[in-house]
Structure 1
Amino acid sequence: MPMIVKAEQTSAPRTYLDHILEHWHKDEDAEALVQGGYRLTRGEARRRLFALGHALRGQGLAPGDGVGLFLANRVDSVLVQLAVHLIGCRVVFLPPEPGPGELAALVEQSRARAVVTDPLFAERAADAAGRSVHAPTLLSLGPCAQPCTDLLALAAACPAERPDGVPAPAADEAVTVLYTGGTLGRPKLAAHSHRLYDTLVDLAEDAPCDSRPTVFPTMDPDTDRVLVSTLLTHGSGHLTSVQALVTGSALVVLPEFEAGAALAVLREERITATMFVPPMLYALLDHPECTAGALPALRRIVVGGAACSPSRMQQTVEVFGPVLSQGYGQSEALGIAAFGAEELASQAPRRPELWRSCGRAISDTEIEIRAEDSTAALPAGRVGEVCVRGETVMLGYYEDPERTAAALHDGWLRTGDLGYLDADGYLYLVDRAKDIIVTGSTSDNVYSRVLEDFLLTLPGVRNAAALGVPDEEYGEAVQVFLATAEDADVDPGAVGAAVTAELGELYTPRKTVLLDRLPTTKVGKVDKKALRAAWVG
């Protein structure tokens, strides 16, 4: 293990930031952060990080204070997040999808003393801060029309040396808070301790082996280049950036996802590893320039954030080779299970059902399948709620003991996902508990994941979503939405017949809606709320 240079030694335990800075003190002219023409070397990134830390401190922020980050995908967003942790403050990610009332409640409940906003979001940030009783300081990453202090201008006048006097975080101290939904005025904020980052460092540094599945292979700081294309203020983008930086890999930031632009960046920046949510991966595969051999440097694509179709996973391997890994987690437990590319490539040919699996429990994590209101584990093959215990599980919902008590029991998190384990410990998800469609004369369960996976095997279908809609006779009926290829002639009647033949009458859709594309959330998942609002009466 390389030694930290003397200027960086502290009496406190090493953090993930120390691992990043070890790399940024070596070979200072190597690229560290890239966004189009904006490129920072390791030395430049380190000095800019330190200056941002001093600038934040200059606004009266002290260790333990919360700092809301309402940011777009850009290099300075990565550095600001690191700077907040550098001075011992709590990162509060403010994603762009909440409405004004929810965003204001998020700022208030998180007790953010300051909010750092991208100029693009400044008007919304000012509105949210203005509604907060705590009246947080409003800072912007550059000049903007709102009454914000320009944090980058402040940093330009600050020292480029590491801020000192930062205490180590306590074991039960929340250092990162992620928005995970909720209701107007009462958002759910998953709070994580430094143990999450310790686990990420361990996973990044340990060579993959059969007993410790991992989505990223051992990274080479001299050659690996990682593209982050999902939102930096969501768990997937945050994990991708941290995993890249702790290994010393160059991190390339994609401001917005568009399949053609993503292909160009993957090719031109010689990207070796990246992460996509399923709709992003599907759009990439459907692009006319996405052909075998088009990305010779690419050796790992991680898919996660939502259920991925087995047929699309196989298509990915056919186009790019054995580069596909899968990860499963949620804001409450950012790492639960993983399926490494090598493991998938070696196992799936003789066990094709593994294409539907999201892998096995990662290091130091336990998974059990439990029935509702039960603490007893169900046997292999039985469907129940996925429960997990380990270092990546949240401390709880921030400032919300009632919902924390409902989700956590003796260290076990009830994920709200339904699935089963096979005899070898591979996890298979069948649905979100809230997405089950209960229908039929005997009120049986239709698992939307099972139906969507099948729909994606039909000719001309590029993406699919299934919803339960009100039905007078059965309570709910199945309705499906299909994004079809431009020249495809998809017959809704034939779709229904194919579903019935493969899955049975219970799964037969009452109605099939054909669309050019399915709406997606800011993080790239299919937006079922938008589908329901637009198409379900």
Structure 2
Amino acid sequence: MIVNPQETSTPLAYLDRILEHWHKDEDAEALVQGEQRLSRAEARRRLFRLGHALRKQGLEPGDGVGLFLANRVDSVLVQLAVHLIGCRVVFLPPEPGPGELAALVEQSAARVVVTDPLFAERAADAAARSVHAPVLLSLGPCGQECQDLLALEAECPEERPQGVRALEADEPVTVLYTGGTLGRPKLAAHSRRLYDALVDVMAPAGPAEDAPHNSHQSPFPVMDPETDRVLVSTLLTHGSGHLTSIQALLAGAALVVLPEFEAGAALEVLRAERITTTMFVPPMLYALLDHPECTVGALPELRRIVVAGAASSPSRLQQTVEVFGPVISQGYGQSEALGITAFAAEDLASKGAERPELWRSCGLPIFDTQIEIRSEDGTATLPARQVGEVCVQGETVMLGYYEDPQRTAEALQDGWLRTGDLGYVDAEGYLYLVDRAKDIIVTGSTSDNVYSRVLEDFLLTLPGVRNAAALGVPDEEYGEAVQIFLATAEGVDVDPDEIGSAVTAELGELYRPRKTVLLSQLPTTKVGKVDKKALRAAWVNGA
């Protein structure tokens, strides 16, 4: 017998909402990856079987389960299954080195680690270094000493696991890696409040008078479960991919998983799968726009592209509208606050035409989020249009850094998160980011601030420049000097002297780069952001 979602209660209400969809129109597609196409009924049965298979490992509610997974349909189901049995998801992204990955597994106290066969060797090494000695499972057979979770799943019942205790409001249910120092990673821990907020944000819109915060918005439009199809192309083990997948499933939309981003492959999937909504980080969007097959009318089904994860170029956002129409939606968040502001596509396109400065805005706060711009010491709230640190409060803000009270106290003060981002708000409450605090370049005879975001936005307006990054490098005279790295279009000659003159004419002498490096492309992280650490390391090594 299959238990109806109304007959029981899960520890996390968002799962009930997803299962409500998966109990209706059971033959409709729920999860897709290439030739693998799961109906809602098949997805539901597999979710329940995976929950039982994980329970057989001796997991108790609240235990941590590390997910070291590639982008695939099975990865989506395993994450849901961990929450279904009341356990804590610990996302293990692929970028950390062996020592950092082992420290992440150890600090998170993961009792089980589920790995993709692609990562099995690294997962086994990390598990072996942990004093907790986690059980190692794989999504399919692999050469390491670990059990095949999919084989275990096949032997399990298709009924929903029962007897799962409810989770407390301040209990961590999802933990995301967000950097740190070697051997001491930072793990942003979120509670069920995040998922409750997502359920509310993704609820169908009611009458305007019923909305308590009608100026607050979501980057995703209200979706139609019958027609909407969402592509997740960023990593499922990062906040962006996780949020995209959860929001799609909450809406009842079909979720299509892109295993790895490449502009041509992404275009083909967008077209073939009739994708209506997707999310990209800026370098992905730029690569898509630069592909020769990305032309006006190429993707007639596309209604929404959410761009987030890093600063976006206003000129590239406008180019997106020229190619695809008013589909671009800007969002802002971080691992510590999964969703802070959003700018709906229709508003961005229409208001941006009247007020061009809005193309640089991240939009208005989502849901119940509150934003304050504070002074460097965090004691004073600054007025509109004055630059300071962005501080936020709301349901999407983390509980704290997992098992790290010292860094939690530094980041969370009186219930407000210090984001480390610098920005300002205008008179209407729109947020504008100018830099990460750590990315400010302090230079010149008066040690003034050069905001790398401002410089990069301008560089992307220049002919032949496809992507740009600005760094501060050591300088004997000024402490730091501005150095820029440009990805240039093939067959286009870009003159560094002309670049420097254009920067000076537009932004002033302080922003003039002391050195310009031309590259065919900029290095990116696993999540698709420009990798400034790699650029800095290459500069130090003289590469």
TM-score normalised over the length of structure 2: 0.97
Q: How many residues align?
A: 534
Matched residue SS, 1:359: strand
- Following the alignment from structure 1 to structure 2, what is the Cα–Cα distance between the partners of residues 218 and 5? 28
Question: Which of 10, 16, 19 does residue 18 from structure 1 map onto?
Answer: 16
Question: Which of 459, 464, 469 does residue 465 from structure 1 map onto?
Answer: 469
Question: Which of 217, 224, 233 does residue 213 from structure 1 map onto?
Answer: 217
Q: Where does residue 85 of structure 1 map in the other structure?
A: 83
Matched residue SS, 2:202: helix
Q: Where does residue 136 of structure 2 map in the other structure?
A: 138
- Following the alignment from structure 1 to structure 2, what is the Cα–Cα distance between the partners of residues 85 and 412? 27
Q: Is the 8 A contact 1:5 1:25 kept in 2?
A: no
Gaps of 5+ in 2: 209-213
User: 1:206 offset after TM fit, Å?
Assistant: 4.1
- Following the alignment from structure 2 to structure 1, what is the Cα–Cα distance between the partners of residues 12 and 111? 26
User: 1:523 offset after TM fit, Å?
Assistant: 0.1
Question: Which of 285, 289, 294 does residue 285 from structure 1 map onto?
Answer: 289
Q: How does 1:62-77 map to 2 (within 5 A)?
A: 62-77=60-75
Q: Where does residue 425 of structure 2 map in the other structure?
A: 421
Amino acid across the alignment from 1:195: R
Matched residue SS, 2:331: strand
User: 1:13 offset after TM fit, Å?
Assistant: 7.2
**In the alignment, structure 1 residue 273 sits paired with structure 2 residue 277:** yes
**In the alignment, structure 1 residue 308 sits paired with structure 2 residue 306:** no
Amino acid across the alignment from 1:401: P
Q: How does 1:502-513 map to 2 (within 5 A)?
A: 502-513=506-517
Amino acid across the alignment from 1:59: Q
Q: Where does residue 432 of structure 1 map in the other structure?
A: 436
User: 1:168 offset after TM fit, Å?
Assistant: 1.1
Q: Is the 8 A contact 1:439 1:475 kept in 2?
A: yes
- Following the alignment from structure 1 to structure 2, what is the Cα–Cα distance between the partners of residues 347 and 222? 31
Question: Which of 236, 248, 251 does residue 255 from structure 2 map onto?
Answer: 251
Amino acid across the alignment from 2:278: T
Segment of structure 1 superposing worse, 527-536 or 450-459? 527-536
Per-residue displacement from partner, 1:66-97 (whole Å, max 9, x unpaired)? 00000000000000000000000000000000
Matched residue SS, 2:396: coil
Q: Where does residue 112 of structure 2 map in the other structure?
A: 114
Matched residue SS, 1:205: coil
User: 1:207 offset after TM fit, Å?
Assistant: 2.2
Per-residue displacement from partner, 1:431-465 (whole Å, max 9, x unpaired)? 00000000000100000000000000000000000
- Following the alignment from structure 1 to structure 2, what is the Cα–Cα distance between the partners of residues 12 and 515? 51
Q: Is the 8 A contact 2:12 2:195 kept in 1?
A: no
Segment of structure 1 superposing worse, 410-419 or 5-14? 5-14
Structure 2 CA distance for partners of 1:12 and 1:512, relative to 1, 3 Å: closer
- Following the alignment from structure 1 to structure 2, what is the Cα–Cα distance between the partners of residues 142 and 62? 24
Q: Where does residue 54 of structure 1 map in the other structure?
A: 52
Segment of structure 1 superposing worse, 4-13 or 387-396? 4-13
- Following the alignment from structure 1 to structure 2, what is the Cα–Cα distance between the partners of residues 345 and 183? 41
**In the alignment, structure 1 residue 201 sits paired with structure 2 residue 193:** no
Q: How does 1:377-526 map to 2 (within 5 A)?
A: 377-526=381-530
RMSD of aligned alpha carbons = 1.2
Amino acid across the alignment from 1:151: L
Q: Is the 8 A contact 1:5 1:22 kept in 2?
A: no
- Following the alignment from structure 1 to structure 2, what is the Cα–Cα distance between the partners of residues 432 and 536? 21
Amino acid across the alignment from 1:131: R
User: 1:5 offset after TM fit, Å?
Assistant: 7.1
Amino acid across the alignment from 2:313: S
- Following the alignment from structure 1 to structure 2, what is the Cα–Cα distance between the partners of residues 295 and 5? 40
- Following the alignment from structure 2 to structure 1, what is the Cα–Cα distance between the partners of residues 46 and 197? 27
User: 1:346 offset after TM fit, Å?
Assistant: 2.1
Per-residue displacement from partner, 1:97-147 (whole Å, max 9, x unpaired)? 000000000000000000000000000000000000100000000000000
- Following the alignment from structure 1 to structure 2, what is the Cα–Cα distance between the partners of residues 345 and 452? 22
Q: Where does residue 374 of structure 1 map in the other structure?
A: 378
User: 1:376 offset after TM fit, Å?
Assistant: 2.2
Amino acid across the alignment from 1:455: L
User: 1:536 offset after TM fit, Å?
Assistant: 3.3
Structure 2 CA distance for partners of 1:488 and 1:97, relative to 1, 3 Å: same
Q: How does 1:237-248 map to 2 (within 5 A)?
A: 237-248=241-252
Gaps of 5+ in 1: none
Amino acid across the alignment from 2:59: L
Matched residue SS, 1:190: strand
Per-residue displacement from partner, 1:157-185 (whole Å, max 9, x unpaired)? 00011000011110100000000000111
Segment of structure 1 superposing worse, 343-352 or 278-287? 343-352
User: 1:9 offset after TM fit, Å?
Assistant: 1.9
Per-residue displacement from partner, 1:290-311 (whole Å, max 9, x unpaired)? 0010000000000000000000
Q: Is the 8 A contact 1:437 1:445 kept in 2?
A: yes
- Following the alignment from structure 1 to structure 2, what is the Cα–Cα distance between the partners of residues 331 and 147? 32
